[in-house]
Amino acid sequence: MGTNTYNMRPTLIYQEFERLAEILEIKLVLGKGDFTGDYCLVEEEKYIVVNKNKPIEQRLKRLSTAFAQLDLSNIYIKPIVRKMIDVEKEQTLFNK
Give the type of residue at 19: R
| pLDDT of 23 | 94
Please tell me what DSSP assigns to residue 76: -
| pLDDT of 4 | 47
What's the rounded Cα separation, in Å, for the pair 91 and 42? Answer: 26
| pLDDT of 93 | 66
Domains in the chain and their CATH numbers?
A: 10-95 (3.30.2010)
pLDDT in tens, 31-63: 787 666 656 656 778 888 888 889 999 999 999
| pLDDT of 40 | 65
- Average pLDDT over the chain, rounded to an integer: 84
